[in-house]
Structure 1
Amino acid sequence: MARLRDIVFDCAHPAATARFWAAAMDGYAVAPYDDEELARLRALGITDVEDDPTVLVESSQGGPRLFFQRVPEGKGGKNRVHLDLSADDLETEAGRLVGLGATVRERFTDHLVLVDPEDNEFCLYGAT
């Protein structure tokens, strides 16, 4: 039986997008760069982690890993899959996410549709 390993985002700027999502969700952080990972990047000719074409975000609480990979093409339409987030205070959390670089696209009675800095849609629900 298959198990969920990662949720993967195709993007133009993996490092920046990974930082947004790490800051957006409780208990998540960009995976640290150890010597082995830095050596791998150097072997690819990459000397600045900002240019890393693949960035991992991990949960300290056992949640799924988020993986951000550079792709050459831009986003072509609405996401076929998106994340749903929840917060105790919908408006306060929406303001925090907007401060991180998100944009509110639509408002509904019980949730908001936002996009991250790379235009990936996600929903934010308040406490029920």
Structure 2
Amino acid sequence: MALTLGMITTDSTDPVPLAAWWAGRFGAEVDDPYGGEFVFVRGGSLPVALAFQKVDDPSPGKNRLHLDLGAPDLDAEVERLVAAGATMVGRRGEEGFSWVTLKDPAGNEFCVAGADEAAAEL
């Protein structure tokens, strides 16, 4: 039997606003059937659901799993994300393949590459 990816889940001390922030980035909808304890983000341009689970004490340090996103216009997308509340960590890579690392409002790192560059790496 082969595994399938059901969703990507992030721990959060306050999952509802974090889910809403991510929903806004993907044009997706927030579904909160468990009263803020486990919140889903579905639809929009997401290929799978994102989930945000309430925890009292999130894991310390750098997150070991992160989203790698693609955008047709990298600079415009980074500008849009920062204007929406993301924090720039830095530009990475080299000529031919570069990306930008950012943090969401809860401090979780994620990366954005130009869509053509990201597809070429697959």
- Range into which the TM-score falls when normalised by the shorter chain: 0.7 to 0.9
* Matches of 1:23 and 1:107, distance apart in 2: 23
- TM-score between the two structures when normalised by the length of structure 1: 0.77
Residues 1:9 and 2:10 are matched in the alignment: yes
Matches within 5 A, 1:1-128: 1=1, 2-25=3-26, 27-31=27-31, 37=33, 41=35, 52-60=36-44, 63-108=47-92, 109=94, 110-128=98-116
Identity %: 40
Give unmatched runs, 5+ long, in structure 2: 117-122
CA RMSD of aligned residues (A): 1.9
Q: Deviations over 1:86-114 (max 9, x none)?
A: 11111111111112211010112411000
| Residues in 2 aligned to 1:62 and 1:95: alpha-carbon distance in whole angstroms | 20
Cα separation, partners in 2 of 1:127 and 1:4, compared to 1, 3 Å: closer
Alpha-carbon distance change, 89 to 79 in structure 1, aligned in 2, over 3 angstroms: same
Q: Which has the higher strand share?
A: 2
**CA contact under 8 A between 2:38 and 2:53: conserved in structure 1?**
yes
Instruction: Report Cα offsets for 1:24-62 as digits up to 9, x if no partner.
Output: 12x52212x6xxx4xx64xxxxxxxxxx12211012567
Distance, in Å, in 2 between the alignment partners of 1:3 and 1:123 is 23
Q: 1:94 to 1:7 in 2, by over 3 A?
A: same
Q: Which residue of 2 aligns with 1:47?
A: none
Whole-Å separation in 2 of the counterparts to 1:69 and 1:24: 19
- In the alignment, the residues of structure 2 paired with residue 95 and residue 113 of structure 1 have an alpha-carbon distance, to the nearest angstrom, of 12
Indicate if the aligned counterparts of 2:28 and 2:46 stay in contact, CA closer than 8 A: no
Number of aligned residue pairs:
111
- TM-score w.r.t. the length of structure 2 is 0.80
Mapped partners of 2:25, 2:11: distance in 1 = 18
Highest relative contact order (Cα 8 Å, sep 6+), 1 or 2?
1
